Structure 1
Amino acid sequence: MSERAPHQRVLRAIFVPARGQYDNIGDILLRRQLLDWLRASGPLHVYVGDAPDGYAQGLGLGPDDVQYRSFGRWYTAALLSAARGRASYVFKPGEIQLTLTGMKEHLAMLPVLALVRARHGRVARIGVGSRNFSPLPRALMGPSIALSNVSFWRDAATAGYLGQGGIMPDLAFASTGAGSNGADTNGTAGRDVLVVSMRSDLDYPSAAWLAGVRAVAADNGLEIWCVTQVLRDDDKCGQLAVDLGGQTLRWNGTAHDEQEQRLRALYRRAALAVSDRLHVLVGALTEGAVPAALLVDAKSDKIARHFAAAGLHDVSIASSGLSAAEITGRLQNLLGRRAAILAGLAQAQGELQTVRRLLDQVLTTESVR
């Protein structure tokens, strides 16, 4: 019988891109969470590109994190470190568009990945989801996936499409907001706000949609606040506030970390968050608000897929064809499920901690020969 090799903990430099949509605080939520996870596993070398200062600050980078604005310098550093056997690579989390443009990280980094693996480094992909599901991009993704030691997808459709990996809740669910696990898990006492945030690239909500939201707010004594978490939605935020008779928390696109804290403070007051933005709903949920995906575009299943991966179902409402009274009833039903929804969040956060421990083990454990 062969004797198993002992193991030792090895901390390699971890190269990770943290670029994203710089006008989208949701991208910060994902990337900051991953960076926080990774620090215990090795020194971070983070590519932020031409990110504005507010975005970089929102990532929570510390003095020990090596930050790169130049892709060339970051890429060269990764190659040199990999050649010395001192590098690992972790893909950025979030949504990928499986087009040639959207896949540039997965294709351009192949030489780095191959060298990392050849020199006994590790490659990980955590919390990634696909926007589209055509056959050719799947084939192009094959080498990148094959070079990964571990892959965790953030929804079942992506896992079924790309394979070779597990399913995990979206990283933004891992946030431990002050309102997500404290007192009042069975009711909404102390919560006097209904938050609204809608995408600017979809149709404007119908009269029935607006009336239904106004009615559920009135029935529960809630103030309506329309908020901007993605800068391009700001004009729509202002118009919704006018039509809903609500107040606004708008944003000029700077000081991302400050805007996130303003949003979180409001989410901690919210009984209900109505949005078609995934990370508005997740961010509000982690602060204790009930998420309601009151969709204008019924064709999209993105929110339902990602909440289902976290064990949370039936938070999406296709509003087309519903009367104001029916919309109010659906929203009221979600409010009545608050305790169960928060319990589901706690379970999802437990699953995420399991993924975190596995990721650390993959990145740091090495057999001693």
Structure 2
Amino acid sequence: MHPWIADRTTSFDSSGIRKVFDLAAKLKDPINLSIGQPDFDVPEVIQDATVDAIRSGKNAYSPTQGIAPLRERLLAEVRAKYPGQDRDVFISSGTSGGLVLSMLSMINPGDEVIFLDPYFVMYPALVRLCGGVPVKVNSYPDFRLDPAKIEAAITPKTKMILVNSPANPTGVTATEDDLRDVADLAAKHNVALLSDEIYSRFYYDGDFASPASHNPDTIVIDGFSKSHAMTGWRVGYVHGPPEIISTMLKIQQYSFVCSPQPAQWGALRAMEVSLDGHIDDYRRKRDFMVQQLSPHFELTSPGGAFYLFPKAPAGETGSAFVERAIQDGVLIIPGNIFSDQDSHFRISFAADDETLRRGAERLIKLAGDNSCSIC
């Protein structure tokens, strides 16, 4: 290792997802079921609002906490959703920026952070970057948020419980009862509760639930990247106890500075855009993929997001199956990128219908099943 490189960078590897994306660039016309972002474009009214902001000179730094109209709109929404709670909000540089600032604000070296396995790839890396200790709670085979397992993982060194519902990579949604119990656990043990809610609008069965409804000290991270296809725009937001938010802002001043101002004006317009049509479309895509694949793969039907996390065929690791799939022109993500286990793989159904049909057909054939109904 080069002598100038900091020791902290050796505690985690580069994202395996990026490696798959690099591979995708080398394939000719792959069936791409790997990308974790919507397949629709940013709605034109949002684009127009952003262009208007650029052309009217709103190109400088914004206040670190974000432009006032967006913050005020978000704060009104948060206060209506959580009446009586003392919560503040600021605009982060994407939800990833919110995660970074959360960890830097609350995690000391040696602190333990509990989250489910499988997990979003960034979680263990960020915990280690801060000198913390990732504590992964096995949620196989159904990927449920089990309060009993969470409680069993709590030690005197536990500083934070991190929940993600709907979850990446499984798409599984936690029940309100389980979220309530975990919220109560965090309060009982005086542990920070961080809720990653970036997929909150991609919720297909029932109503979205947040642990913040049951624990007013919950720190919530959300944003516009997934819901409005604004992944490259870097506009997220965080709300929670004012002292925590103030600390995160202090760090943002010396790191991200602010979210891009023109994109914030686009996000303000995005709050007026209905997503119902897109959500209905993704529910239909979910139903199609579950219907096609469930007879051939062991999988849990996702209640949200746009992912499936099937188990590889018997006798085969997830990474070995993914390698065969990629050789056959189907881009999927090996499950061991998101997990200590190498038994599953991730599919994104954020793709057009024909791509999903072709992808399902190829995967079923790779599973060795010749009874495919769409082949």
Q: Give the structure with the larger strand fraction.
A: 1
Q: TM-score, normalised by structure 2?
A: 0.33
Q: Give the structure with the larger helix fraction.
A: 1
Answer 1 or 2: higher relative contact order, Cα 8 Å, separation at least 6. 2
